[in-house]
């Protein structure tokens, strides 16, 4: 009899457990989404608390940040300022724990510069990486890119690209790119070269998809810019409207902007798109449009 | 010398017979398996993550071995009073300490060797799965880092033997050894932090605390000396001078501690 009773209690317990199991996880899910952003223990403490396992702690912390960003993006949520501060803080601690770990730097470039519109913060992290990963050409390359594309500081960009070009393993075109940057500045074609390299480097599917759309947009901007340049040389003036390029035969058709904007020419003769080459919710992330001179 | 070897062999056999060894081996195998799964989550530094996880798994398994098996091997004789039987044989007390130390050390080394082979298989497997993400990886540095995990545990074993020679309770030995381990792993960070400019600006550290930390840093071993994970993870060059210095530091600490343990143990009375 007592045995039967125990069995009954066990069955009831299993039943209750299985019925509340789902609710427990659901409530945790709710708690996790309600928390605006996590808190990262400053590196001066976590280095001590890790008890010699700084490496594995940095791996764990990196996964945490990547999951945090991926989770928000997957749910279609836009990260707010607090969230970005958490990401920056975590990546900082992460690189304090293991300054040679390359993934946080790549993530910083991928999300801080592109999505958060914080190229300066990304540069700060990348500069820290450069102190340690002295052989890695990608870090100065990324800084150069950020200076060129987001901060429009062509001189600085050129100097970092030159530094990247000097390191072994860097693509051959970097050598000419550095010089071209200093000379041409903000041509869309220069941006295209950069972007192709970023795409080849990207392995995160989300980032890759975004870069691919941007690449198409830039390729089209380059196409229009080239037609515009030809028009200027042959006609001796700038076209009044962008459609004039099509009507005069310099362009067969006006390629659509993949972000849904409309192409136009600014008074100073630059090509721009009304979408600013960004999806509506990501406006903050990518403010700058490729321009031509 | 012969009695030391005999005692070491007995201790080793006793350790190998311990059932908890299987649990620890299973745990380590689980960690290596986890490594294979988790490595795919990372974007490019798969090699670094693999090395980190392997060395941490080795470290963790070694810690469990010493704290659950090693401590008992040392304390059991005193706890169960079988020490009277051992000491009635023609064996001096200091020989007993050294014999026990080498026995536990042999046991820990043999167990770690098996785990090391498993670990190499994991690394080899991942190296084949993700050959492009192991650019900086070097087997030499990895093996050296694994060897220094063993050196670290040699020092920890000496600490366990030392505390066992003072107390007759295995729990107290465990607590003291664990505290020494935690302090030893953290001491370097604390010392350098206190010396950093940041801490000086804050002016929150009193001079007496500073002196206390200085004294502690002499007393307990700095386990960070034996940590080559960063170098192994990124395939960085390790100067041979550092290797020999670390080895010398470990060896001299072990010798000092065991001689002290022998002194204390020789003057001890058993009830």
Residue A85 placed within a domain: yes
What is the percent of chain B with per-residue pLDDT over 90, rounded to a whole number?
15
Using the predicted structure, report yes or no on whether residue B148 has a pLDDT greater than 90.
Answer: yes
Using the predicted structure, report yes or no on whether residue A281 has a pLDDT greater than 50.
Answer: no
Q: How many whole angstroms separate alpha carbon B58 and alpha carbon B153?
A: 11
Give the distance between the most distant pair of CA atoms in chain A. 104
pLDDT tens digit string along B168-227? 788 888 999 999 999 998 888 888 777 776 666 666 667 787 888 888 888 888 898 898
pTM: 0.71
Q: Out of A48, A100, A204, name the one closest to residue B234 (CB).
A: A100
CATH number (domain holding residue A46)? 1.25.40.10
Number of domains in chain A: 1
Q: Out of B41, B190, B224, name the one closest to residue A52 (CB).
A: B224
With H, G, I as helix, E, B as strand and everything else as coil, classify residue A69: helix
Contact (CB<8Å) B52/A51: no
Contact (CB<8Å) B42/A59: yes
pLDDT attached to residue A148: 82
Residue A197 placed within a domain: no
Contact (CB<8Å) A98/B230: yes
Q: Which domain holds residue A61?
A: 42-185
pLDDT attached to residue B92: 83
Q: How many whole angstroms separate alpha carbon A245 and alpha carbon B262?
A: 94
Give chain A positions within 8 Å (CB) of B181. 51
Q: Exposed (0-12), middle (13-18) or buried (19+): which is B182, by Cβ within 10 Å?
A: middle
Give chain A positions within 8 Å (CB) of B205. none
pLDDT band at A249 (very low <50, low <70, confident <90, very high): confident
Mean pLDDT of A187-196: 69
Give chain B positions within 8 Å (CB) of A46. none
pLDDT attached to residue B157: 93
Which residue in chain A has the smallest CA separation from B59?
Answer: A53
Least confident of A190-199, B42-51, B228-237: A190-199
What are the beta bridge partners of residue A273?
A263
Least confident of A138-142, A211-215, B99-103, B147-151: A211-215
For chain A, positions 202-221, list CB contacts with chain B under 8 A: 203-204
Min distance A55 CA to chain B CA atoms (Å)? 6
pLDDT attached to residue A290: 39
- What is the number of CB-based contacts under 8 A between chain A and chain B? 70
Residue A29 placed within a domain: no
Angle at alpha carbon of residue B135, lines to A169 and B232, rounded to 5°: 130
pLDDT attached to residue A283: 36
pLDDT band at A204 (very low <50, low <70, confident <90, very high): low
Give chain B positions within 8 Å (CB) of A63. 38, 41-42
Least confident of A50-64, A175-189, A209-223: A175-189
Q: Out of B43, B189, B229, name the one closest to residue A204 (CB).
A: B43
pLDDT band at A21 (very low <50, low <70, confident <90, very high): confident
Give chain B positions within 8 Å (CB) of A98. 48, 230, 233
**B-side interface with A, Cβ within 8 Å?**
38, 41-45, 48-49, 51-53, 55-56, 59, 181-182, 185-186, 189-190, 193, 198, 223-224, 227, 229-230, 233-234, 236
Least confident of A201-205, A244-248, B61-65, B179-183: A201-205
Min distance B235 CA to chain A CA atoms (Å)? 10
What the block records as the tokens of A67 is 């999951």
Q: Out of A59, A66, A106, name the one closest to residue B44 (CB).
A: A106
């Amino acid at each position: 009899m007592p045995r039967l009773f125990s069995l009954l209690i066990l069955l009831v317990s299993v039943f209750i457990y299985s019925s509340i199991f789902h609710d427990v996880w659901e409530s945790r899910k709710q708690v996790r989404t309600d928390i605006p952003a996590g808190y990262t223990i400053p590196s001066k403490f976590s280095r001590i608390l890790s008890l010699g396992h700084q490496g594995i702690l940095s791996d764990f912390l990196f996964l945490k940040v990547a999951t945090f960003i991926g989770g928000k993006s997957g749910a279609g949520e836009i990260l707010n300022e607090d969230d970005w501060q958490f990401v920056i803080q975590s990546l900082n601690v992460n690189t304090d724990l293991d300054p040679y770990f390359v993934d946080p730097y790549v993530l910083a470039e991928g999300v801080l510069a592109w999505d958060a519109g914080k190229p300066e913060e990304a540069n700060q992290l990348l500069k820290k990486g450069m102190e340690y990963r002295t052989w890695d050409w990608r870090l100065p390359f990324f800084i150069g890119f950020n200076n060129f594309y987001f901060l429009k500081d062509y001189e600085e960009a050129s100097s970092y690209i030159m530094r990247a070009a000097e390191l072994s393993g860097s693509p051959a075109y970097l050598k000419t790119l550095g010089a071209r940057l200093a000379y041409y500045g903000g041509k869309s074609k220069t941006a295209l070269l950069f972007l192709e390299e970023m795409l080849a480097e990207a392995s995160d599917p989300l980032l890759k998809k975004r870069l691919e759309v941007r690449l198409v947009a830039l390729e089209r901007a380059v196409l229009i810019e080239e037609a515009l340049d030809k028009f200027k040389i042959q006609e001796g003036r700038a076209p009044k409207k962008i459609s004039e390029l099509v009507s005069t035969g310099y362009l067969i058709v006006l390629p659509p902007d993949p972000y849904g904007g409309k192409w136009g020419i600014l008074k100073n003769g630059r090509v721009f798109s009304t979408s600013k080459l960004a999806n509506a919710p990501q406006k903050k992330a990518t403010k700058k449009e490729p321009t031509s001179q | 010398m012969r009695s030391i070897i005999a005692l070491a062999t007995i201790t080793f056999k006793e350790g190998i017979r311990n059932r908890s060894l299987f649990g620890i081996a299973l745990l380590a195998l689980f960690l290596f398996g986890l490594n294979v799964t988790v490595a795919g989550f990372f974007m490019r530094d798969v090699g670094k993550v693999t090395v980190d996880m392997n060395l941490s798994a080795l470290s963790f398994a070694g810690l469990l071995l010493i704290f659950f098996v090693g401590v008992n091997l040392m304390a059991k004789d005193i706890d169960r009073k079988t020490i009277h039987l051992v000491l009635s044989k023609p064996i001096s007390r200091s020989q007993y300490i050294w014999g026990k130390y080498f026995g536990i050390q042999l046991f820990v080394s043999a167990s770690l060797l098996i785990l090391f082979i498993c670990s190499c298989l994991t690394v080899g497997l991942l190296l084949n799965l993700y050959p492009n993400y192991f650019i900086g990886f070097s087997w030499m540095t990895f093996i050296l880092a694994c060897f220094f995990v063993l050196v670290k545990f040699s020092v920890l074993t000496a600490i366990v033997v030392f505390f066992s020679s003072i107390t007759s309770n295995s729990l107290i030995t465990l607590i003291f050894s664990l505290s020494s381990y935690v302090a030893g792993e953290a001491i370097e960070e604390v010392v350098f932090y206190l010396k950093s400019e940041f801490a000086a600006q804050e002016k929150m550290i009193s001079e007496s605390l500073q002196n206390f930390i200085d004294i502690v840093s002499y007393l307990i071993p700095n386990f960070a000396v034996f940590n080559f994970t960063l170098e192994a993870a990124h395939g960085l060059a390790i100067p041979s001078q550092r290797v020999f210095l670390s080895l010398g530091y470990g060896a001299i600490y072990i010798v000092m501690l065991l001689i002290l343990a022998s002194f204390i143990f020789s003057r001890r009375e058993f009830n």
